[in-house]
Amino acid sequence: MKMNNRSIVCLSALIAAVATGCQVAVQPPVVDVAPPVAEVTVGVPDTYVWDGVEYVGYVGGSCMYLGPGGVWLACDPVRLDRFHGWERGHPDWRRTAVRNEGRNARGRAQARREERREDHR
């Protein structure tokens, strides 16, 4: 009987402790979601050139470079400065640049070779 009384007293004490307000704080997990990376695609510039490091060309008045995945991106100040340095050493780069024969960034087709030859005469 002594054992039974002790068990009842311990069990009663445990129930009383739990019933008096044992609080457990549960915090929801924190989930960090990175914002999506914005890629700007602008098509292919009218002319572009290899500057010794990467392909660079102009679209509109903006200097663009060929980024990863074949996407043309706006040049950051470091790339722009490097290209201008290369450009100073190659002032005739537009004459030897690769010409886009398909649709360019503005959605218009390039002039035909015959039309270009007439313009340069």
Task: Provide the residue-wise pLDDT of the chain in tens; the chain has 121 residues.
Answer: 555 777 777 667 667 666 666 566 778 878 787 777 655 545 678 788 988 889 998 887 788 888 888 888 888 999 999 999 998 998 888 888 887 766 555 555 555 555 555 555 5
In a domain, 106, yes or no: yes
Q: Is residue 19 domain-resident?
A: no
Domain assignment present for residue 14? The answer is no
The confidence score (pLDDT) of residue 81 equals 93
Is residue 67 assigned to a domain?
yes
86, 49 in Cβ contact below 8 A?
Answer: no
pLDDT at position 44 is: 73
In this prediction, residue 106 carries a pLDDT of: 54
Q: What are phi and psi of 108, to 5 degrees?
A: -110, 150
pTM for the full predicted model = 0.49
Largest CA distance in the chain: 119
The whole-number pLDDT of residue 52 equals 87
In a domain, 82, yes or no: yes
In a domain, 21, yes or no: no
Domain of residue 54, residue span: 47-120
Tally of domains in the chain: 1
What is the predicted pLDDT for the residue at 82?
93
Query: Taking phi first (over 0 means left), then psi (-120 to 50 degrees means alpha), and beta for anything else, what does residue 107 get?
Result: left
- How far is Cα of residue 97 from the mean position of the Cα atoms in its chain? 27
